Amino acid sequence: MIYYKTDEEIELIRKSCLLVSKTLAMIAEILRPGVRGIDVDKLAEEFICDHGAVPGFKGLYGFPNTLTISRNHAVVHGVPSKEEFKDGEIASIDCGVYWDDFYGDSAYTFAIGDVNESVMRLLEVTNDSLYAGIEQVEVGKRLGDVGFAIQSYINNHNYSIVRDLVGHGVGRSLHEEPKVPNYGRRGQGLKLKEGLVIAIEPMINMGRKEVYLSEDGHTIVTRDGKPSAHFEHTVAVRKKGVDILSDQSLIEIAMQKNVNLKNINRALATA
Ligand code: MG
Ligand code: MG
């Protein structure tokens, strides 16, 4: 069953999505080598609760935390750990918020310290593939057009698309119908109608596409141990076109602050 949202409901989903984006921006400012995932998770939980909202993932499918933090070869659903982030790592951080009866859902893969160029390229291409998918979202197009655009973009860069996990509808439940695969055939699948709200979330592997569930029962990891990236936006289909409800610009401004701070610290250390 697909629930199409009214304009008022879309605004409530936007409110939840923006809180997710603000949470990810708060994280972007503090992420650096030496910081621990569990501490970031705790801050995110407090931040969300201080706004009067509820962490969307905690307790869902037995997940113990507010954020999923998936490092390096972990694809998604990583459990925040006590291990410190190391220079050169990547961390895909996914966050959900439940506020005034509606969920918001967005994810971003962060570089910790200095990450090598080939891995930075994976992050860039994965995020660009998300926007290639979003570009297809308009009334009358089909989910297959969205998946096809992501797939074509990724194939051109010789990475692999994780097929075992897909995007989804977002609303009063975090995971609603329809499923939103990151692959597809042009002109196939569900026709996009006004009021449809979906999370588009390419999970892209540098090596092969195969993944498995690790021993902790949550974390999905690549079989070949190579890095994986994950970017996600919640978007609404509107009469005028696509409406992106989450906001990466907040994260990017915060990352710039973090970089500036790093440069100032570096300058002070050598002064
Ligand atoms: Mg998510
Ligand atoms: Mg999602």
Q: What is the pLDDT of residue 271?
A: 78
The reported pLDDT for the residue numbered 264 is: 84
d(CA 7, CA 12): 9
Tell me the C-alpha distance between 72 and 85, whole Å: 11
Which residues sit with Cβ closer than 5 angstroms to ligand 2, an ion?
105, 199
Q: For 139-190, where are the E strands, in sequence order?
A: 160-161, 167-169, 176-180
**Residue 58: its pLDDT value, please?**
97
Closest ligand (CA of 57): 1
Q: What is the DSSP letter of 84?
A: B
How far, in Å, CA of 97 to CA of 108, rounded?
15
Q: Report residue 162 as tokens.
A: 């994780």
Unique residue bearing structure tokens 């998918």: 133
Q: Residue 171 Cα, ligand 2 centroid: separation in angstroms?
A: 11
Ligand 1: centre distance to CA 95 (Å): 6
Domain ranges of the chain: 7-270
Alpha carbons 36 and 165: distance in angstroms, whole number: 27
pLDDT for 258 equals 82
CA 57 to ligand 1 centroid distance, Å: 9
Q: Which pLDDT tens digit goes with each residue over 30-39?
A: 999 999 999 9
Burial readout 128-145 (b: 16 or more C-beta within 10 A, e: otherwise) = bbbbbbbebbebebbbbb
pLDDT digits (tens, 9 = 90+) for 87-140: 999 999 999 999 999 999 999 999 999 999 999 999 999 999 999 999 999 999
Low-confidence ranges of the chain (pLDDT < 70): none
| Top-level class of domain 7-270 | alpha beta
For residues 246 and 234, is the Cβ–Cβ distance under 8 A?
yes
pTM of the model: 0.96
